[in-house]
Structure 1
Amino acid sequence: MSLIAVKDLSLIRAEPLFAGLDLSIARGDRLGLVAANGRGKSSLLRILAGGEDATTGGVTRSRGLVVAFAPQDPPERLLSLSLYDAVRDALAPEIADTESWRVDILLEDLAVEQATRDTAVGRLSGGWQRTMLLARAAVVEPDLLLLDEPTNHLDIGRIGVLERFLAGLPRDCAVVAASHDRAFLDDVTNRTLFLRPQESADFALSYTAALHALEERDAARDRQFENDMRKVKTLRQQAAKLKNIGINSGSDLLVVKTKQLSDRADRLEERARPAHHERSAGNIRLTASGTHAKALVTVEGAEIATPDGRVLVKIGKALIKNGDRVALLGENGSGKTRLVERMRAALSDADPQIRGAASLRLGYSNQALSQLDGFATPWEAVKQSSGLSDHVARSQLAGAGIGVDAQTAPIARLSGGQRARLAMLLLRQTEPNFFLLDEPTNHLDIEGQEMLEEELIRHQAACLLVSHDRAFVRAVATRIWVIEDRRLVEVDDPDPVFDRLMAG
């Protein structure tokens, strides 16, 4: 039974985001919504939720349908409420008192501790705010649950909680999740919609299998297009020859035949359509300066501690060699980010416990993209971080997906994906030979994640990275460090670690 159906739906902003979209969502569907940054995913979710109007087309909902939407960011009016009260606020006022037990059960299922429940939403991390928004949506017991980037800012353990929660929903509850997390999409979805300006593609497959099917379909369409255009060229050549013969012979029949061939070519050319090729949301390009040093970073006898002196992890001896791409895994609060921060400080100043090679050039990016702090505009950031000419600076910003108008606008107005690409562009200017990357894929779409993977691998860049993105770690890492029982250990395979962390 269809819960909601859209027919010939289109959304046009400065340009068409999607058009001619037909989609039906049935009970129990688990639909992954995939598109590049800024290509209409969030808008489509809001249209399905009834909070935004499409440009054309219609949305039909089943009688009595309950739809709940978990956006990416909390509305401002919730920031002063505790997490508990923000979730309770989603209940209708007439049942909030008698049905508040739903909130308690839900927050228990989502493993939210009492201290977190009592904390004001505005003081919570991005991950806990995401959990609150999910709980607000789920507490109304919807027939259709809409999730916008639900894994952003979640560590691997919280992603495990989310996946188990979704798996435990009533079987007839449908879920639509817009996400750039490839592993999450593979784990929780049974359908994938690739949202496109024209001819969006819907497959009854989870992400990876659906992507392969899409690539095969697009390749077949490109082959058909090339074949059709060869036929068009042949028909036009035949028509031209026949026209000359007809003119020379004065044959009316040949003139008619010429027109028939031309008409056939016109009809075939009008019908022929190449496969859609996604316009890039912006390039990610890195450079890596060379070094002959075998060991870029040496850690020996280091203790990583909290500001109040509580030891989080002890490191006996560890080396990062030229070309190593080391992924650092561990539970939330185990000391991953503090280790990255300590290493960054140590490589800038003398530290007997963490030493860098004399030729080391550091490139650093954290999940808050703090390297953008202090710059008013993208233009200022690039010009002050490099010796590029004005023309080259504008060209590189445009290549990173930051158009001319946005280049001199406040950085705060950029989307998350644009800010992430700008941060990678600034990294490129420093020409590092060692990268410290803390959650580098947080704001990147799938295209951006794959570009970053390719660049790190192509340049054989040495790096230490912290990431909750399992697909990214699997693609990039050549070594795996794990913080467990306050010790740093190295393992060969990240998957058992992922499984353990996700199981809680």
Structure 2
Amino acid sequence: MQVKNLSKAYGVQSIFSQLSFTLQEGEKVGLIGPNGTGKSTLLKCITGEEMSDAGEIIVNGNTSIGFVAQQNSWQNNSLFEELLLGFEEIVADRKTLGELEQRMARSEGQPLAALMQQYAQVTERYERAGGYACEAMVKRVAKGLGFTDREFEQTVDTMSGGQKTRAALAKVLLMQPDILLLDEPTNHLDIHAVEWLEEYLSQYPKTVFLVSHDRYFLDKTVTRILELDAGRITSFHENYQGYLRRKAEFAESYRRAYQKQEQVIAKTEEFIRRYKAGVKSKQARGRETILSRMERLEKPPEQKTMRPMTLAPVPECGFYVLEVSKLAHRYGSKRLFSDLNFIITNGEKVALIGDNGTGKSTILKNLIGEILPEEGTAKFGPRVKVGYFSQGHETLDERKTVLEEIIYSFDKRKEEARSLLAAFLFRGDEVEKKIRDLSGGEKSRIALLKLLLQGANFLVLDEPTNHLDIPSKEVVEDYLSDFPGTILVVSHDRYFLDKVANRVLELDGGQIFDFMGNYSYYRFKKKESSTEISLPKGPSKESYRTPNPLKEQERSLKKMVRQIEAIEAQLEELEAEKEALGQKMSNPEVFAGGNEIKDLIQAYHDVEETMNRCYAQWEAWSLEKEELERNLLEQTEGS
């Protein structure tokens, strides 16, 4: 795909102008930039949801483009039915099989025999079309994005907004288009789902073009960064970390070049001033001509980082900040967690993580008293002053301007309020905007600034980086990293957690698991525990051998090959069993007993379900085998 000289404006406000870039086949490209620079607008121009004012987008004739539409029609289908809609023949045969099963259950004699023959024909066609493998793929993608078996049968129309967004993402992934366009795909995903999506996209054989503020995600998925800022686009053939290095190097080189040019200009102007009317006037006029023709470098932009300042004094408190004992909570019949026990001490910065729906935000609300726990207690230590950040921004007065919100909330002078707001990237006329007119990210920024100005020594934060662009996240990270008090934060932003947290509490299965370290350390310990192998009891030569990574890889590969061979053998047995059941179902004599057909159909379905699970496991193991083979080849070539 080629974008040439693309321009877009809303009224008199130019969003971007003369943008040009190319997406190569198989490239993974991340589009980044501050909020409001036109990233989502650019994607909409590519998909045709919006029209550009000038320029063109050239796509090869048969190239398919997949994207998550803003409006989706769900047709009153279950999630599983909705995700199968892209496979028309398979869906039609699946529906026919269901109808035939119902008719067979009500028939007998010759009509039943005819139905059985038709059922066998449709089943054979369904298998040839890859129906069972398709169902397995649908379930793998849906489960990867966090859906449960129970949710497969839930009508999509009855789902929450976040679930619908995940369903729409699953549909696009299952389309497997030539160009996959994704706008903030990690929104509404928990950490496990984001990690699954990272792996999926890194293995995706076609082109990916995505907008994201998730720096960890960008590092894992893309090999090229396009930065859109001030209406211009710049390309970096790196992942996010490489982009940061390259940009810092470029900024430093440009700064030195600008300073050198300014020195030359100053010296030249001084020469012209001194000798314009003297004996060297001819030389002075020559230098004046050179100066007028010189291509001036623009002044480097102001670095959008925080200003070092103390926002508010943080009062001292005792060693124990929070003690949680036997905490339990449920919603209706669903128990979220029970018998939770943990202590947070002064100076700790604790991340509370876990899958969506496990009760993380509920725990925070239990702690601050917004929701009473079903059981247990949460006790704050002496002199602890709590500051709470919620996703609803309830502390903001929608009628005030940004500047008024700080002046009147904290009795600040206008100049001081402007300085504080500038530290959180509110500059110039932006401080005169009404709170009600701010974007979600802007509201988060001012709510966080207000929280830090309260002088609390224990910050309880629920998803503080949601809706923030990367420059805003960096400001918040810097302040929270330097915060002298204690923090308990719920967040799915792993980059943020790595910079801020020094302890991780994982909520899993209604229980708390404690890890002393940042998010990367937590991941290391989790991976270590999942790959632990039992050592033989008592001393042996094997116990004392130095591990050989190459041999470990070879052993893992051999084990994976054996597992794949075993599941392939199991699939052959299941195929034979299914065929035998199909033959029985095609024999009218089998149904002389009356209800026997129902048992046969149920048995047939059970075999199909087992096959679906086996196909999904086979696919996962095959991908893992490919990864092991690739790693082994790299190690062999490198040795």
| TM-score for the superposition, normalised by structure 2 | 0.66
Alignment correspondent of 1:290? 315
Which segment is superposed worse, 491-500 or 376-385?
376-385
2:190–2:354: 8 Å Cα contact kept in structure 1?
Answer: no
Q: How does 1:274-423 map to 2 (within 5 A)?
A: 274-277=299-302, 287=312, 289-308=314-333, 310=335, 312-316=337-341, 318-345=342-369, 353-366=377-390, 368-371=391-394, 375-377=397-399, 379=401, 382=405, 386-388=409-411, 391=414, 395=418, 401=426, 409=434, 411=436, 413-423=437-447
Amino acid in the other structure paired with 1:289: V
Relative to 1, partners in 2 of residues 1:121 and 1:225: Cα closer, same or farther, differing over 3 Å? farther
Structure possessing the higher relative contact order (Cα contacts under 8 Å, 6 or more residues apart): 1
Segments of 5+ residues of structure 2 without an aligned counterpart are: 96-130, 531-619, 621-639
Which deviations, in whole Å up to 9, do the C-alpha atoms of 1:37-57 show, x marking residues without a partner?
111111111122233233443
Aligned residues: 482
| Aligned residue number for residue 211 of structure 1 | 244
User: What amino acid sits opposite 2:476 in the alignment?
Assistant: L
CA distance in 1: counterparts of 2:307 and 2:267, whole angstroms:
38
Describe how 1:76-475 pairs up with structure 2 within 5 A.
83=79, 91=86, 97=92, 105-111=137-143, 112-121=147-156, 123-169=158-204, 171=205, 173-197=206-230, 199-246=232-279, 255-268=281-294, 270-277=295-302, 287=312, 289-308=314-333, 310=335, 312-316=337-341, 318-345=342-369, 353-366=377-390, 368-371=391-394, 375-377=397-399, 379=401, 382=405, 386-388=409-411, 391=414, 395=418, 401=426, 409=434, 411=436, 413-475=437-499
Q: Secondary structure at the match of 1:200?
A: strand
Q: 1:151 & 1:462 partners in 2: Cα distance?
A: 28
> Aligned AA for 2:138?
L
CA offsets, 1:190-221, max 9 Å, x none? 10111122553211110011111111111101
Paired position in structure 2 for 1:495: 520
Question: For 1:402 and 1:235, how far apart are their aligned partners in 2?
Answer: 35
Equivalent AA in structure 2 for residue 36 of structure 1 = P
**Aligned-residue offset at 1:133:** 2.4
Q: Amino acid of the residue matched to residue 187 of structure 2?
A: N
Distance change in 2, residues 1:388/1:54 (3 Å): farther
Distance 1:51 1:189, change over 3 A: same
Report the counterpart of residue 541 of structure 2 in structure 1: none
Which stretch has the larger CA shift, 434-443 or 375-384?
375-384
Q: CA RMSD in A?
A: 3.9
Deviation at 1:498, TM superposition (A): 3.7
Change (3 A) 1:277 1:121: farther
| Gap regions ≥5 residues in structure 1 | 247-253
Contact preservation (8 Å) 1:313, 1:483: no
Assess, with a 3 A threshold, how the Cα gap between structure 1 residues 281 and 451 changes in structure 2: closer, same or farther: closer
Per-residue Cα deviation, 1:305-334 (whole angstroms, up to 9, x for no partner): 445473614234x32222211111233443
Higher strand share: 1
State the percentage of identical aligned residues.
25
Q: Which moved more, 1:16-25 or 1:392-401?
A: 392-401
**How far apart, CA to CA, are the structure 2 residues paired with 1:406 and 1:114?**
49
Kept in 1, the 8 Å contact 2:352–2:490? The answer is yes
CA distance in 2, matches of 1:265, 1:288: 52
Deviates more, 1:150-159 or 1:285-294: 285-294
Q: Per-residue deviation at 1:414?
A: 3.1
How far does residue 475 in structure 1 lie from its aligned partner after superposition?
0.5
Aligned residue among 28, 31, 36 for 2:29 = 31
- Partner Cα distance (1:264, 1:332) in 2: 65
Most deviating of 33-42 and 106-115: 106-115
AA aligned opposite 2:409: S
Q: Provide Cα deviations, 1:102-147, integer angstroms capped at 9, x if missing partner.
A: 6873353231335434445464345423322223333443111111
Compared CA separation, residues 344 and 325, structure 1 to 2 (3 A): same
Deviation at 1:424, TM superposition (A): 1.4
Could you tell me which of 55, 71, 90 is aligned with 1:75? 71
**Is the CA contact (8 Å cut-off) linking 2:348 and 2:502 kept in structure 1?**
yes
Could you tell me the TM-score, scaled by structure 1's length? Answer: 0.82
Distance in 1 (CA, whole Å) between partners of 2:31 and 2:302 is 18
Q: CA deviation at 1:335?
A: 3.2
Question: Is the 2:224–2:237 contact (alpha carbons within 8 Å) kept by the matching residues of 1?
Answer: yes
Once the two structures are superposed, what CA deviation does each residue of 1:4-25 show, in whole Å capped at 9, x if it has no partner?
1123333344544433432110
Which one-letter code corresponds to 2:286 in the other structure? Answer: Q
CA distance in 1, matches of 2:347, 2:93: 60
